[in-house]
Each structure stands twice: as C-alpha cells, then as structure tokens.
C-alpha cells in the first residue's frame, strides 16, 4: 500500500509517496488560498485529420444530416452538454502546413492542398476561419488557434490576428473580413505559436525554436500585449525536460503567457495494441503511461518555477489521451479508434491530476474531440455515439471554475505481475453555489475498494452520486449498441458522523455532489 498525500509546497500541490498504511481514508483539507480549477482544463482539440472536421464536425450545408451552416447539430448539442470551454484548431501537425488565407472567401475559389501528415488526402479548404470561429460561437466555446510557424511567416500570423480580432475598417485585414461577410471581430484570445516544433512543426532544436518563437511573438500584438492575447509556446513531448528548461530560460516573460506540453498514453509507438481487444497487461501499461502525467507536471512545473517564480506563465497540456492502433479496415492515416472503459480510466485519473495541479495547469485539450484518437464522440454518416470518455467529461464538468479542495489519502495498490500502481485517484472542489464535488476513480481491474471521506469540516447534509462502470474493461459503445456504457445514479453512499462512506467497484468512476 502506498500513501499519496496532496501537500502544499511553494503554493502548489505535490503528490508524495509517504508510507505503508491500511484504509482508503480520504481527508479533505480545505485551503484558504486554494486555486480555482480553470474551466479550460476541460478543453478539446479538432484537427484536419481523418474524419474529425469533415464528417465529424462539418458535413456541409447540402447534407441531409441536420446542420447549421454545415456544422452537424447532433455533435453541437452533445458538446454543449459538456460545456466545452475551448476548442483548439486546425492542428496538430496540420497547423504547420496550413495557410489560413486558403480557407477564406468564396468556397469555389479556395485552393485545394494535400494533407501530407494525415493520409495525403485532398483538403479543399471548405472549412476555414469563418466556419471554425462561427462554429465556436454555436458551441459557446472559446477558440484556440494554432498558427503555422513551421512553413508560415510572422506576417501571416500577424494578418490572421488582425483578420479575426481587429475592429472593422481599421486596416486591410478587417476590411477583407467584412467583405467576406463578418463585420464584428471574433476576438480570439488563445494563439499557439507553432505545434510540436521539435517534430512535425519543423524539427527544431529548443535553442533555435526559442529564437523563432521570440520573433513570431513580437509581431502578434504591441509591446505591452494590450490586446491581452495568450501566446502559447510549442512545448515539450512528455519527459523532454530540456525543452522546457531552454524555452523558459530563453524566452522573455513579456513575450509568453503559456507553455505547452504533449503527453500521449502509448504502449509502444511501433506496436500500440488494439483499442478494444486489449489484454490486462496492455491495460496496465496504458495506465502506467497515463499516471505518468503526475510526474511530468511536477517536473515541468519545477523547471517553470525556477525561471518564473511568480508563476506568470501557465502550463497548457494541449494534447493528451490514449493512442492505439487504428480500427482494422480504416485508413491508418485517420487515427480512428474505439473507446472503452480503459479510456474512461485514463480520462478520470488525468482530469484528477489536472485539477490537483490547478495552480499551474490552466488549460488542457483532449486529443481529439470527434473520430480521432481518444474521442468523446464517434460518427458514422448520420449516426453518432457518445464514448465512455464523453461520460467522464460530462460527470466532471462540475469542477469547471470551482475552487480546488486538496485531499490527502493513502491508496491501495493495483498490482499486475511484479508491478503496481495506486488504484485510487481523487480530486475535489467547491463551486460558486457552495456545492462540494468529489471525483473518484478505481483503476483496479478486479478489486472494489471501500472509501471513507472525512468531510467533518464541511457541514454537509445532502449527497448525490453518479457512477460510470461496466461488466468488462473492454466494454464500449458501438453504432449497434450505443448505450452499453452509460452513467447511472449512485445511491450507495452513507453520510454519518462527518464521514462519507461508499464502495467503489473495479474500473469505475464516481462523482459525488454534496450540499
């Protein structure tokens, strides 16, 4: 058994392995200066990749599938239900090949390009800046644009910002926007300065990218950043700490508001394993990779703290999720995979980690929203299904913009062969209405665990619960059986003498709301 305790160190939380102990007793430790859990931690990502945009979000105005300006309304309604706070677009790797001016103006005049990263398919640019930003308005979400640094120019980026953000009539770019039918600027706050600059974004060294970043960031706005833009530096891959070190050292703090980090849960890049028919060993390895997020955030933020002790620069984990072999029979370049209870375990534990690091992690983007990697929604022509990951995101939305309540607890171990992982993951928050929320995950594939939450300091009288569980870890929703995995009301919670008691079944997620 290992004890994991959320300690306040230098204003942020550290998960520390303390000692052996018995019960799963969770202590609630409200903290005066606890951070707010940014709603942007619950963000999403939509790339021009496979069927994410075309067929997933966008079917065109002439489609029989109900749509608004070509955007399918079943997807919009499902995402509204998640209260998605932001959507990152147009990539990913695609972003560094994307020239935004190809995607404005009359559709019949827009040039086609080859999508070289994702299946070499034809990209006709029918979904461009207007279509995306208008879709964000329909979704009620904030856009996060990823700019082309790898094959673009600072001028292109500066023009894009003027086109989307500047008032009508102030310069040629807003005039062009008006000409193409949009008078009011959309006001985009979040701007990624390239993507994976160490790889598909240009294969740059951190030293070289730091200089490139400085140049691009200089032309995004004025020297005071009076537009209040959030400029996001392309961040490290997983444990590449040198990348964060060099960027944090070389980029002046008046030019950067956020640093990105990408981490995928992958067994082996050359042999990722199936998305549904996986073994217990493959499940264990994926959970090992997913739980690594805790260490990655601790170590990257320690480097950030060294160079930015006032914590002005936020950490954005703007790509995360499980990555498996594509579904048999699908285009391997489209990264279409199914989504099981294993993905629900990744989502629940990762979101708990983000919540518990809410002081530095201010945004995160699940990769990707529809039909790609760990999607919340899958579509097949006119059909649409919600995945187990969707249900976790919906259950956890109660944490958006709530105040973190640190927890300390000792987790039993989930053991497979000669390795073990902490079985229980948890986070808690209090929302503006005074409700307290607990999200609990048990990743153990076989054992249920008794949980006792010491809530004596919280004066609670009413408790509601919801659970996502299934018969098998491999269970998933399909177009023939769309509701096989779904959340249910969870009533087996006892509130007595300042303690909330419940049993959490194997591989399940429970969210409790207490008043």
Give the residues lining the site for ligand AHR (CB under 6 A).
47, 91-93, 195-196, 319, 367-368, 373
Residue 17 — φ and ψ, nearest 5°? -75, 115
Residue 106 — φ and ψ, nearest 5°? -55, 135
For 412-462, strand residue ranges (E) read 413-416, 419-422, 424-430, 436-442, 449-454
Q: Of 70 and 235, which CB lies nearer to ligand AHR in the complex structure?
A: 235
The pair of three-digit structure tokens given for residue 275, joined into one six-digit string: 């998305």
Q: Are 103 and 148 in contact (CB under 8 A)?
A: no
Smallest distance from ligand AHR to CB 368, Å? 6
Smallest distance from ligand AHR to CB 7, Å? 33
- Which helix (H) or strand (E) element contains residue 360? none
Q: Of 47 and 343, which CB lies nearer to ligand AHR in the complex structure?
A: 47
The pair of three-digit structure tokens given for residue 314, joined into one six-digit string: 């936020």
Name the packing angle between helices 388-396 and 341-356 (round to 10°): 30
Smallest distance from ligand AHR to CB 52, Å? 9
Q: Of 116 and 448, which CB lies nearer to ligand AHR in the complex structure?
A: 116
Look at residues 327, 321, 439 and name the one whose alpha carbon lies nearest to residue 378.
Answer: 327
Q: Of 85 and 194, which CB lies nearer to ligand AHR in the complex structure?
A: 194
Smallest distance from ligand AHR to CB 241, Å? 19
Smallest distance from ligand AHR to CB 237, Å? 8
Contacts of 246 (CB under 8 A, 6+ apart): 206, 207, 210
Q: Of 135 and 260, which CB lies nearer to ligand AHR in the complex structure?
A: 260
Token pair 């956020």 in the structure block, residue? 258
Distances (CA, A) of 280 to 217, 327, 340: 46, 19, 13
From 156, 257, 294, 319, active-site residue? 319
Distance between CA 306 and CA 217 in Å, rounded?
Answer: 22
How far from the centroid of its chain's Cα atoms is residue 487's Cα?
A: 21
Distance between CA 411 and CA 18 in Å, rounded?
Answer: 11
The pair of three-digit structure tokens given for residue 286, joined into one six-digit string: 């994926």
Q: Of 142 and 319, which CB lies nearer to ligand AHR in the complex structure?
A: 319
Smallest distance from ligand AHR to CB 349, Å? 20
Beta bridge partners of 442: 424, 508
Token pair 């042999």 in the structure block, residue? 271
Smallest distance from ligand AHR to CB 372, Å? 7
Q: Please report, to the nearest 10 degrees, the dihedral formed by the alpha carbons of residues 111, 115, 116, 120 taken in order.
A: -110
Q: Are 43 and 82 in contact (CB under 8 A)?
A: no
Distances (CA, A) of 145 to 62, 90, 439: 27, 7, 31
Q: Is 319 a catalytic residue?
A: yes
Q: Of 47 and 156, which CB lies nearer to ligand AHR in the complex structure?
A: 47
Q: How many other C-beta atoms can be found within 10 angstroms of the C-beta atom of residue 481?
A: 11
Distance between CA 148 and CA 131 in Å, rounded?
Answer: 18
Residue of minimal CB distance from ligand AHR? 92
Smallest distance from ligand AHR to CB 373, Å? 6
Q: How far apart are the two ends of the chain, measured CA to CA in Å? A: 32
Q: Of 260 and 440, which CB lies nearer to ligand AHR in the complex structure?
A: 260
Smallest distance from ligand AHR to CB 437, Å? 29
Q: Of 67 and 371, which CB lies nearer to ligand AHR in the complex structure?
A: 371
From 123, 196, 257, 294, active-site residue? 196
DSSP 74: H
Distance between CA 430 and CA 114 in Å, rounded?
Answer: 48
Q: Which residues does the annotation mark as catalytic? A: 196, 319
């Amino acid at each position: 058994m290992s004890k994991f305790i959320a300690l306040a160190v230098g204003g942020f939380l550290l998960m520390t392995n303390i000692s052996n102990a018995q019960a799963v007793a969770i202590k609630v430790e409200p903290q005066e200066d606890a951070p707010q859990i940014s709603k942007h931690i619950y963000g999403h990502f939509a790339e021009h990749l496979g069927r994410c945009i075309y067929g997933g979000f966008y079917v065109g105005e002439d489609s029989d599938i109900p749509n608004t300006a070509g955007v399918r309304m079943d997807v919009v309604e499902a995402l509204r239900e998640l209260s998605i706070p932001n959507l990152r677009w147009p990539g990913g790797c695609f972003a560094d090949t994307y020239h935004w001016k190809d995607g404005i103006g009359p559709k019949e005049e827009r040039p086609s390009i080859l999508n070289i990263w994702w299946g070499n398919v034809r990209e006709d640019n029918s979904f461009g800046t207007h279509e995306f930003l208008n879709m964000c308005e329909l979704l009620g979400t904030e856009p996060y644009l990823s700019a082309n640094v790898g094959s673009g120019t600072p001028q292109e980026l500066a023009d894009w910002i003027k086109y989307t953000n500047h008032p009508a009539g102030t310069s040629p770019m807003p005039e062009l926007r008006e000409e193409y039918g949009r008078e009011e600027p959309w006001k985009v706050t979040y701007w990624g300065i390239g993507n994976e600059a160490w790889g598909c974004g240009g294969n740059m060294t951190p030293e070289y990218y730091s200089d490139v970043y400085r140049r691009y960031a200089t032309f995004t706005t004025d020297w005071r950043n009076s537009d209040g833009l959030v400029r996001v530096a392309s961040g490290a891959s997983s444990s590449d700490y040198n990348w964060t070190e060099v960027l944090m050292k070389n980029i002046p703090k008046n030019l950067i508001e956020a640093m990105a980090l990408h981490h995928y849960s992958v067994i082996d890049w050359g042999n990722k394993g199936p998305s549904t028919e996986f073994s217990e060993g493959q499940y264990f390895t994926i959970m090992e990779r997913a739980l690594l997020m805790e260490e990655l955030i601790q170590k990257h933020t320690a480097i950030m703290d060294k160079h930015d002790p006032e914590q002005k620069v936020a950490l954005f984990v703007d790509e995360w999720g499980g990555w498996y072999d594509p579904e048999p029979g699908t285009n391997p370049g489209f990264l279409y995979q199914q989504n099981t209870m294993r993905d629900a375990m990744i989502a629940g534990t990762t979101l708990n980690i983000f919540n518990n690091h809410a002081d530095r992690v201010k945004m995160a983007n699940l990769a990707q929203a529809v039909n790609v990697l760990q999607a919340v929604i899958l579509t097949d022509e006119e059909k649409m299904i919600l995945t187990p990951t969707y249900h976790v995101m919906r259950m956890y939305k109660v944490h958006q913009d709530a105040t973190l309540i640190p927890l300390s607890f000792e987790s039993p171990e989930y053991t497979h062969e000669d390795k073990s992982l902490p079985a229980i993951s948890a986070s808690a928050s209090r929302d503006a209405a005074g409700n307290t929320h607990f999200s609990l995950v048990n990743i153990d594939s076989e054992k249920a665990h008794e949980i006792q939450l010491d809530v004596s300091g919280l004066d609670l009288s009413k408790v509601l619960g919801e659970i996502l569980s299934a018969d098998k870890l491999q269970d998933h929703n399909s177009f023939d059986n769309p509701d096989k995995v779904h959340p249910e009301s969870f009533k087996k919670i006892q509130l007595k003498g300042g303690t909330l008691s419940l049993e959490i079944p194997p591989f399940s997620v429970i969210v409790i709301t207490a008043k």
